[in-house]
Chains A and B, each alone.
Chain A
Protein backbone atom coordinates (compact mmCIF):
# COMPACT_ATOMS: atom_id res chain seq x y z
CA UNK A 1 0.00 0.00 0.00
CA UNK A 2 1.69 3.22 -1.08
CA UNK A 3 1.63 6.44 0.86
CA UNK A 4 1.78 9.57 -1.25
CA UNK A 5 3.28 12.58 0.47
CA UNK A 6 2.78 16.12 -0.89
CA UNK A 7 4.33 19.08 0.85
CA UNK A 8 3.15 22.40 -0.57
CA UNK A 9 4.04 25.96 0.42
CA UNK A 10 2.81 29.18 -1.21
CA UNK A 11 6.15 29.44 -3.01
CA UNK A 12 6.45 25.95 -4.42
CA UNK A 13 5.73 22.28 -4.22
CA UNK A 14 8.48 21.11 -1.90
CA UNK A 15 8.04 17.36 -2.15
CA UNK A 16 5.76 14.93 -3.93
CA UNK A 17 6.44 11.21 -4.05
CA UNK A 18 5.68 7.85 -2.44
CA UNK A 19 7.16 7.50 1.04
CA UNK A 20 7.13 4.77 3.67
CA UNK A 21 6.14 6.83 6.68
CA UNK A 22 5.72 10.42 7.82
CA UNK A 23 5.96 12.13 11.21
CA UNK A 24 4.15 15.44 11.54
CA UNK A 25 4.28 18.12 14.25
CA UNK A 26 0.54 18.16 15.03
CA UNK A 27 -1.09 20.82 17.19
CA UNK A 28 -1.64 18.23 19.94
CA UNK A 29 1.72 16.52 19.57
CA UNK A 30 3.65 14.50 17.05
CA UNK A 31 1.65 12.27 14.72
CA UNK A 32 3.16 9.26 13.00
CA UNK A 33 1.51 8.24 9.75
CA UNK A 34 1.84 4.87 8.05
CA UNK A 35 -0.12 3.69 5.01
CA UNK A 36 -3.80 2.93 5.82
CA UNK A 37 -3.96 5.64 8.46
CA UNK A 38 -7.49 6.74 9.35
CA UNK A 39 -8.70 9.95 7.69
CA UNK A 40 -7.59 12.97 9.69
CA UNK A 41 -7.31 16.71 9.25
CA UNK A 42 -4.99 18.34 11.72
CA UNK A 43 -3.51 21.73 12.40
CA UNK A 44 0.28 21.81 12.44
CA UNK A 45 2.49 23.84 14.70
CA UNK A 46 6.00 24.96 13.76
CA UNK A 47 8.38 22.06 14.26
CA UNK A 48 10.01 19.13 12.63
CA UNK A 49 8.63 16.89 9.89
CA UNK A 50 10.30 13.55 9.10
CA UNK A 51 9.67 11.06 6.37
CA UNK A 52 11.26 7.80 5.27
CA UNK A 53 11.97 7.92 1.56
CA UNK A 54 14.02 5.31 -0.33
CA UNK A 55 15.39 3.99 2.94
CA UNK A 56 16.60 7.41 4.12
CA UNK A 57 15.05 9.61 6.74
CA UNK A 58 14.67 13.19 5.55
CA UNK A 59 13.90 15.92 8.02
CA UNK A 60 12.42 19.33 7.30
CA UNK A 61 11.63 22.30 9.50
CA UNK A 62 8.04 23.36 8.84
CA UNK A 63 5.95 26.36 9.84
CA UNK A 64 2.34 26.28 10.93
CA UNK A 65 -0.29 24.96 8.59
CA UNK A 66 -2.52 21.98 8.01
CA UNK A 67 -2.23 18.36 7.05
CA UNK A 68 -4.86 16.21 5.45
CA UNK A 69 -4.37 12.49 5.89
CA UNK A 70 -6.21 9.76 4.02
CA UNK A 71 -5.37 6.07 3.77
CA UNK A 72 -3.11 6.56 0.79
CA UNK A 73 -2.18 10.21 0.93
CA UNK A 74 -0.75 12.90 3.16
CA UNK A 75 -1.07 16.52 2.03
CA UNK A 76 0.87 19.05 4.06
CA UNK A 77 0.08 22.73 3.59
CA UNK A 78 2.48 24.97 5.41
CA UNK A 79 3.93 28.45 5.10
CA UNK A 80 7.51 27.16 5.38
CA UNK A 81 9.32 23.92 4.67
CA UNK A 82 13.10 24.05 4.80
CA UNK A 83 15.78 21.43 4.70
CA UNK A 84 18.78 21.66 7.01
CA UNK A 85 20.97 23.18 4.29
CA UNK A 86 18.47 25.94 3.55
CA UNK A 87 18.30 27.32 7.07
CA UNK A 88 20.55 30.19 7.90
CA UNK A 89 20.71 30.69 11.65
CA UNK A 90 21.73 34.31 11.37
CA UNK A 91 18.82 35.22 9.10
CA UNK A 92 16.40 33.39 11.36
CA UNK A 93 17.77 35.13 14.46
CA UNK A 94 17.48 38.48 12.77
CA UNK A 95 13.90 37.70 11.81
CA UNK A 96 13.11 36.88 15.45
CA UNK A 97 14.73 40.06 16.66
CA UNK A 98 12.90 42.23 14.16
CA UNK A 99 9.58 40.62 15.00
CA UNK A 100 10.18 41.04 18.74
CA UNK A 101 11.14 44.68 18.41
CA UNK A 102 8.07 45.36 16.35
CA UNK A 103 5.93 43.47 18.82
CA UNK A 104 7.21 45.52 21.74
CA UNK A 105 7.05 48.89 20.07
CA UNK A 106 3.52 48.82 18.73
CA UNK A 107 1.78 45.98 20.47
CA UNK A 108 -1.00 48.12 21.87
CA UNK A 109 -1.96 49.87 18.69
CA UNK A 110 -1.94 46.80 16.49
CA UNK A 111 -4.72 44.39 15.80
CA UNK A 112 -4.70 40.85 17.13
CA UNK A 113 -4.10 39.61 13.62
CA UNK A 114 -0.80 41.43 13.29
CA UNK A 115 0.37 40.29 16.72
CA UNK A 116 -0.51 36.71 15.85
CA UNK A 117 1.44 37.04 12.63
CA UNK A 118 4.55 38.33 14.41
CA UNK A 119 4.31 35.59 17.01
CA UNK A 120 4.04 33.16 14.13
CA UNK A 121 7.27 34.51 12.65
CA UNK A 122 9.01 34.11 16.01
CA UNK A 123 7.89 30.55 16.63
CA UNK A 124 8.60 29.55 13.05
CA UNK A 125 12.11 30.93 13.11
CA UNK A 126 12.76 29.44 16.56
CA UNK A 127 11.76 26.03 15.26
CA UNK A 128 14.09 26.45 12.31
CA UNK A 129 17.02 27.38 14.54
CA UNK A 130 16.45 24.52 16.96
CA UNK A 131 16.25 22.14 14.07
CA UNK A 132 19.50 23.37 12.56
CA UNK A 133 21.39 23.22 15.88
CA UNK A 134 20.16 19.73 16.58
CA UNK A 135 21.13 18.31 13.26
CA UNK A 136 24.70 19.48 13.51
Chain B
Protein backbone atom coordinates (compact mmCIF):
# COMPACT_ATOMS: atom_id res chain seq x y z
CA UNK B 1 0.00 0.00 0.00
CA UNK B 2 1.15 3.47 -0.79
CA UNK B 3 2.52 5.48 2.07
CA UNK B 4 1.29 8.84 3.30
CA UNK B 5 3.70 10.99 1.39
CA UNK B 6 2.92 9.29 -1.94
CA UNK B 7 -0.78 9.86 -1.50
CA UNK B 8 -0.25 13.49 -0.52
CA UNK B 9 1.77 13.98 -3.68
CA UNK B 10 -0.91 12.41 -5.84
CA UNK B 11 -3.68 14.53 -4.36
CA UNK B 12 -1.67 17.61 -5.15
CA UNK B 13 -1.12 16.65 -8.78
CA UNK B 14 -4.78 15.71 -9.33
CA UNK B 15 -5.79 19.03 -7.79
CA UNK B 16 -3.58 20.82 -10.28
CA UNK B 17 -5.17 18.96 -13.17
CA UNK B 18 -8.64 19.76 -11.89
CA UNK B 19 -7.74 23.42 -11.68
CA UNK B 20 -6.61 23.46 -15.30
CA UNK B 21 -9.64 21.60 -16.64
CA UNK B 22 -11.94 23.85 -14.62
CA UNK B 23 -10.37 26.93 -16.18
CA UNK B 24 -10.72 25.40 -19.64
CA UNK B 25 -14.32 24.55 -18.89
CA UNK B 26 -15.07 28.16 -18.00
CA UNK B 27 -13.39 29.48 -21.12
CA UNK B 28 -15.28 26.99 -23.29
CA UNK B 29 -18.56 27.85 -21.57
CA UNK B 30 -18.15 31.54 -22.36
CA UNK B 31 -17.27 30.83 -25.99
CA UNK B 32 -20.03 28.27 -26.22
CA UNK B 33 -22.74 30.75 -25.30
CA UNK B 34 -21.67 33.13 -28.04
CA UNK B 35 -21.22 30.43 -30.67
CA UNK B 36 -24.57 28.84 -29.87
CA UNK B 37 -26.36 32.18 -30.11
CA UNK B 38 -24.75 32.81 -33.47
CA UNK B 39 -25.70 29.38 -34.80
CA UNK B 40 -29.29 29.62 -33.67
CA UNK B 41 -29.72 33.19 -34.92
CA UNK B 42 -28.48 32.25 -38.37
CA UNK B 43 -30.88 29.36 -38.84
CA UNK B 44 -33.94 31.49 -39.47
CA UNK B 45 -32.18 33.22 -42.35
CA UNK B 46 -30.92 29.94 -43.79
CA UNK B 47 -34.41 28.49 -43.65
CA UNK B 48 -36.05 31.48 -45.32
CA UNK B 49 -33.44 31.57 -48.03
CA UNK B 50 -33.96 27.88 -48.69
CA UNK B 51 -37.71 28.36 -48.84
CA UNK B 52 -37.32 31.22 -51.29
CA UNK B 53 -35.16 29.18 -53.64
CA UNK B 54 -37.61 26.32 -53.42
CA UNK B 55 -40.51 28.60 -54.35
CA UNK B 56 -38.58 30.06 -57.25
CA UNK B 57 -37.66 26.63 -58.55
CA UNK B 58 -41.21 25.37 -58.27
CA UNK B 59 -42.48 28.18 -60.45
CA UNK B 60 -39.74 28.15 -63.03
CA UNK B 61 -38.54 24.64 -63.57
CA UNK B 62 -37.20 25.48 -67.00
CA UNK B 63 -35.12 28.43 -65.81
CA UNK B 64 -31.62 27.23 -65.17
CA UNK B 65 -28.27 28.20 -63.73
CA UNK B 66 -24.97 26.30 -63.53
CA UNK B 67 -25.50 25.77 -59.81
CA UNK B 68 -28.75 23.86 -60.22
CA UNK B 69 -28.12 21.84 -63.36
CA UNK B 70 -27.62 18.23 -62.32
CA UNK B 71 -24.28 16.63 -63.15
CA UNK B 72 -23.52 12.96 -63.54
CA UNK B 73 -19.77 12.82 -62.96
CA UNK B 74 -18.29 11.25 -59.89
CA UNK B 75 -15.51 13.62 -58.89
CA UNK B 76 -16.26 14.93 -55.45
CA UNK B 77 -14.80 17.75 -53.39
CA UNK B 78 -15.51 17.78 -49.67
CA UNK B 79 -15.32 20.83 -47.45
CA UNK B 80 -14.28 19.30 -44.15
CA UNK B 81 -14.89 21.49 -41.12
CA UNK B 82 -13.14 20.27 -37.98
CA UNK B 83 -11.55 21.93 -34.97
CA UNK B 84 -8.12 23.50 -34.58
CA UNK B 85 -7.64 22.15 -31.10
CA UNK B 86 -8.38 18.85 -29.46
CA UNK B 87 -9.88 18.14 -26.04
CA UNK B 88 -13.40 18.19 -27.36
CA UNK B 89 -14.50 14.60 -26.90
CA UNK B 90 -15.22 12.42 -29.91
CA UNK B 91 -16.30 15.31 -32.13
CA UNK B 92 -13.64 14.97 -34.81
CA UNK B 93 -13.57 11.17 -34.69
CA UNK B 94 -17.30 10.96 -35.27
CA UNK B 95 -17.10 13.40 -38.16
CA UNK B 96 -14.23 11.46 -39.74
CA UNK B 97 -16.19 8.24 -39.53
CA UNK B 98 -19.22 9.85 -41.15
CA UNK B 99 -17.10 11.31 -43.93
CA UNK B 100 -15.56 7.93 -44.63
CA UNK B 101 -18.99 6.34 -44.91
CA UNK B 102 -20.68 8.96 -47.01
CA UNK B 103 -18.18 10.32 -49.51
CA UNK B 104 -16.41 8.92 -52.54
CA UNK B 105 -13.24 7.05 -51.67
CA UNK B 106 -11.22 9.18 -54.09
CA UNK B 107 -12.76 12.49 -53.03
CA UNK B 108 -10.50 15.51 -52.59
CA UNK B 109 -10.70 17.76 -49.57
CA UNK B 110 -10.78 21.42 -48.61
CA UNK B 111 -10.24 21.76 -44.90
CA UNK B 112 -11.09 24.22 -42.18
CA UNK B 113 -9.50 23.26 -38.90
CA UNK B 114 -6.20 21.57 -38.21
CA UNK B 115 -7.30 18.28 -36.65
CA UNK B 116 -8.84 16.59 -39.65
CA UNK B 117 -6.43 18.20 -42.09
CA UNK B 118 -3.68 16.31 -40.31
CA UNK B 119 -5.78 13.16 -40.59
CA UNK B 120 -6.32 13.70 -44.33
CA UNK B 121 -2.60 14.06 -44.81
CA UNK B 122 -1.93 10.87 -42.87
CA UNK B 123 -4.43 8.93 -44.97
CA UNK B 124 -2.88 10.30 -48.14
CA UNK B 125 -5.99 12.21 -49.22
CA UNK B 126 -5.48 15.18 -51.46
CA UNK B 127 -6.06 18.46 -49.65
CA UNK B 128 -6.70 21.09 -52.31
CA UNK B 129 -6.89 24.06 -50.00
CA UNK B 130 -6.90 24.87 -46.32
CA UNK B 131 -8.65 27.82 -44.71
CA UNK B 132 -8.39 29.22 -41.22
CA UNK B 133 -11.40 30.93 -39.72
CA UNK B 134 -11.02 32.73 -36.46
CA UNK B 135 -13.45 32.78 -33.61
CA UNK B 136 -16.18 34.17 -33.55
CA UNK B 137 -16.90 33.61 -37.22
CA UNK B 138 -17.39 36.73 -39.34
CA UNK B 139 -19.45 36.28 -42.50
CA UNK B 140 -16.82 37.99 -44.64
CA UNK B 141 -14.19 35.41 -43.63
CA UNK B 142 -16.17 32.45 -44.94
CA UNK B 143 -16.81 34.17 -48.27
CA UNK B 144 -13.41 33.19 -49.76
CA UNK B 145 -14.16 29.55 -48.96
CA UNK B 146 -17.49 29.67 -50.77
CA UNK B 147 -15.87 31.50 -53.68
CA UNK B 148 -13.15 28.89 -53.94
CA UNK B 149 -15.64 26.02 -53.91
CA UNK B 150 -17.90 27.66 -56.51
CA UNK B 151 -14.92 28.31 -58.72
CA UNK B 152 -13.77 24.70 -58.57
CA UNK B 153 -17.27 23.64 -59.43
CA UNK B 154 -17.82 26.09 -62.27
CA UNK B 155 -14.46 25.29 -63.83
CA UNK B 156 -15.60 21.67 -63.97
CA UNK B 157 -12.85 20.28 -61.77
CA UNK B 158 -15.46 18.56 -59.65
CA UNK B 159 -19.02 17.38 -60.19
CA UNK B 160 -20.18 17.48 -56.62
CA UNK B 161 -19.28 19.64 -53.66
CA UNK B 162 -20.14 18.36 -50.18
CA UNK B 163 -19.83 19.92 -46.77
CA UNK B 164 -18.90 17.74 -43.80
CA UNK B 165 -19.56 19.50 -40.52
CA UNK B 166 -20.98 18.91 -37.08
CA UNK B 167 -24.49 20.16 -36.69
CA UNK B 168 -25.36 21.61 -33.33
CA UNK B 169 -28.40 19.99 -31.68
CA UNK B 170 -27.96 21.02 -28.08
CA UNK B 171 -25.17 21.36 -25.54
CA UNK B 172 -25.01 17.61 -25.00
CA UNK B 173 -25.62 16.46 -28.56
CA UNK B 174 -23.85 17.25 -31.81
CA UNK B 175 -24.51 15.36 -35.01
CA UNK B 176 -21.89 14.87 -37.72
CA UNK B 177 -23.43 15.55 -41.13
CA UNK B 178 -22.38 15.32 -44.76
CA UNK B 179 -24.57 17.38 -47.08
CA UNK B 180 -24.42 18.33 -50.73
CA UNK B 181 -23.67 21.98 -51.41
CA UNK B 182 -23.49 21.86 -55.20
CA UNK B 183 -25.37 21.15 -57.37
CA UNK B 184 -28.27 22.60 -55.43
CA UNK B 185 -31.11 20.15 -55.65
CA UNK B 186 -34.24 19.21 -53.80
CA UNK B 187 -34.23 16.20 -51.53
CA UNK B 188 -37.08 14.43 -49.84
CA UNK B 189 -37.28 13.88 -46.14
CA UNK B 190 -40.61 12.22 -45.45
CA UNK B 191 -43.36 14.70 -46.04
CA UNK B 192 -41.06 17.58 -46.61
CA UNK B 193 -38.96 18.69 -49.45
CA UNK B 194 -35.67 20.10 -48.42
CA UNK B 195 -32.69 21.58 -50.06
CA UNK B 196 -30.02 19.60 -48.36
CA UNK B 197 -28.46 22.24 -46.30
CA UNK B 198 -28.03 22.49 -42.60
CA UNK B 199 -29.20 19.01 -41.95
CA UNK B 200 -32.62 17.52 -41.81
CA UNK B 201 -34.12 20.13 -39.54
CA UNK B 202 -34.08 22.51 -42.46
CA UNK B 203 -36.82 21.17 -44.61
CA UNK B 204 -39.30 23.51 -46.23
CA UNK B 205 -42.98 22.92 -46.61
CA UNK B 206 -44.02 21.55 -49.92
CA UNK B 207 -46.99 23.39 -51.33
CA UNK B 208 -49.69 21.85 -53.36
CA UNK B 209 -50.44 24.07 -56.27
CA UNK B 210 -51.17 27.31 -54.56
CA UNK B 211 -52.05 30.32 -56.69
CA UNK B 212 -50.84 32.55 -53.88
CA UNK B 213 -47.35 31.40 -54.67
CA UNK B 214 -47.26 32.13 -58.35
CA UNK B 215 -44.62 34.75 -58.53
CA UNK B 216 -43.45 37.42 -60.80
CA UNK B 217 -39.87 38.59 -60.55
CA UNK B 218 -38.06 41.85 -60.37
CA UNK B 219 -35.78 42.61 -62.20
CA UNK B 220 -36.15 39.15 -63.88
CA UNK B 221 -36.10 35.46 -63.03
CA UNK B 222 -32.60 34.90 -64.29
CA UNK B 223 -31.23 37.94 -62.50
CA UNK B 224 -32.85 36.98 -59.24
CA UNK B 225 -31.49 33.43 -59.59
CA UNK B 226 -28.05 34.71 -60.49
CA UNK B 227 -27.98 36.76 -57.29
CA UNK B 228 -29.73 34.44 -54.90
CA UNK B 229 -27.88 31.18 -55.69
CA UNK B 230 -24.37 32.45 -54.93
CA UNK B 231 -25.77 34.04 -51.77
CA UNK B 232 -27.22 30.67 -50.85
CA UNK B 233 -23.86 28.94 -51.35
CA UNK B 234 -22.09 31.64 -49.32
CA UNK B 235 -24.58 31.40 -46.58
CA UNK B 236 -24.56 27.60 -46.39
CA UNK B 237 -20.80 27.61 -45.94
CA UNK B 238 -21.07 30.29 -43.27
CA UNK B 239 -23.82 28.49 -41.40
CA UNK B 240 -21.93 25.17 -41.55
CA UNK B 241 -18.84 26.81 -40.02
CA UNK B 242 -20.92 28.52 -37.36
CA UNK B 243 -22.71 25.29 -36.48
CA UNK B 244 -19.40 23.47 -36.23
CA UNK B 245 -18.03 26.11 -33.91
CA UNK B 246 -21.07 25.92 -31.66
CA UNK B 247 -20.66 22.13 -31.57
CA UNK B 248 -16.95 22.39 -30.86
CA UNK B 249 -17.30 24.68 -27.88
CA UNK B 250 -20.24 22.70 -26.51
CA UNK B 251 -18.35 19.42 -26.82
CA UNK B 252 -15.26 20.92 -25.21
CA UNK B 253 -17.27 22.39 -22.37
CA UNK B 254 -18.87 19.03 -21.67
CA UNK B 255 -15.58 17.14 -21.96
CA UNK B 256 -13.84 19.54 -19.60
CA UNK B 257 -16.72 19.41 -17.16
CA UNK B 258 -16.59 15.63 -16.94
CA UNK B 259 -12.80 15.79 -16.58
CA UNK B 260 -13.19 18.20 -13.67
CA UNK B 261 -15.87 16.03 -12.10
CA UNK B 262 -13.67 12.94 -12.41
CA UNK B 263 -10.74 14.74 -10.85
CA UNK B 264 -12.91 15.90 -7.96
CA UNK B 265 -14.15 12.38 -7.40
CA UNK B 266 -10.60 11.07 -7.48
CA UNK B 267 -9.46 13.68 -4.95
CA UNK B 268 -12.27 12.64 -2.64
CA UNK B 269 -11.28 8.98 -2.82
CA UNK B 270 -7.61 9.76 -2.26
CA UNK B 271 -8.39 12.01 0.68
CA UNK B 272 -10.44 9.26 2.27
CA UNK B 273 -7.60 6.81 1.86
CA UNK B 274 -5.11 9.35 3.17
CA UNK B 275 -7.18 9.94 6.31
CA UNK B 276 -7.61 6.21 6.87
CA UNK B 277 -3.87 5.68 6.67
CA UNK B 278 -3.19 8.65 8.92
CA UNK B 279 -5.63 7.42 11.53
CA UNK B 280 -4.13 3.96 11.30
CA UNK B 281 -0.68 5.41 11.91
CA UNK B 282 -1.89 7.38 14.95
CA UNK B 283 -3.64 4.32 16.38
CA UNK B 284 -0.59 2.14 16.06
CA UNK B 285 1.58 4.87 17.57
CA UNK B 286 -0.77 5.14 20.56
CA UNK B 287 -0.72 1.36 20.90
CA UNK B 288 3.05 1.39 20.97
CA UNK B 289 3.13 4.09 23.65
CA UNK B 290 0.58 2.32 25.87
CA UNK B 291 2.40 -0.99 25.48
CA UNK B 292 5.65 0.67 26.44
CA UNK B 293 3.99 2.24 29.51
CA UNK B 294 2.49 -1.13 30.51
CA UNK B 295 5.92 -2.75 30.20
CA UNK B 296 7.56 -0.14 32.46
CA UNK B 297 4.98 -0.63 35.27
Give chain A's interface residues, CB within 8 Å of chain B.
Answer: 6, 8-13, 26-28, 31, 38-43, 66, 68, 70-72, 75, 77, 79, 111, 113-114, 117
Contact = CB atoms under 8 A, between A and B. Distances in A.
Contacts of A8: 44-45, 48
5 contacts: A12-B44, A39-B213, A68-B55, A77-B48, A77-B49
Contacts of A39: 212-216
B218 A27 contact: yes
B140 A117 contact: yes
Given A43-B227, A72-B212, A77-B52, A10 B217 contact: no
B131 interface: no
Nearest to B52: A68
Interface string B10-50: 00000000000000000000000000001001101100110
Contacts of B215: 39-41, 68
Nearest to A42: B218
A10 B219 contact: no
Q: Per DSSP, are chain A's interface residues mostly helix, strand or loop, or mixed?
A: mixed
A43 B224 contact: yes
B170 interface: no
Residue of A42, A71, A77 ringed by the most chain B CB atoms within 10 A: A77
Contact of B44 (A13, A111, A114): A13
A42 B220 CA distance: 8
B189 interface: no
Given A39-B213, A39-B216, A9 B143 contact: no
B238 interface: yes
A38 B227 contact: no
Contacts of B48: 6, 8, 68, 75, 77
Contacts of A79: 139
Contacts of B52: 41, 66, 68, 75, 77
B235 A10 contact: yes
A71 B41 CA distance: 27
Nearest to B216: A40
Contacts of A43: 218-219, 223-224, 227
Contacts of A68: 48, 51-52, 55, 215
A9 B235 CA distance: 11
A27 B220 CA distance: 10
Given A40-B217, A41-B217, A66 B44 contact: no
Given A42-B224, A72-B212, A113-B147, A27 B219 contact: yes
B213 A70 contact: yes
Contacts of A26: 218
Contacts of A70: 212-213
B147 A111 contact: yes
B34 to A, nearest CB: 12
Given A43-B219, A66-B52, A71 B228 contact: no
B56 interface: yes
Given A28-B219, A117-B140, A117-B143, A41 B55 contact: yes
Contacts of B227: 43, 66
Nearest to A111: B147
Contacts of B51: 68, 75
Interface string B139-151: 1100100010000
Contacts of A66: 49, 52, 224, 227-228, 231
B40 to A, nearest CB: 10
Interface in B214-252: 214-219, 223-224, 227-228, 231, 235, 238
A111 B230 CA distance: 15
B218 A28 contact: yes
A27 B51 CA distance: 21
B60 to A, nearest CB: 10
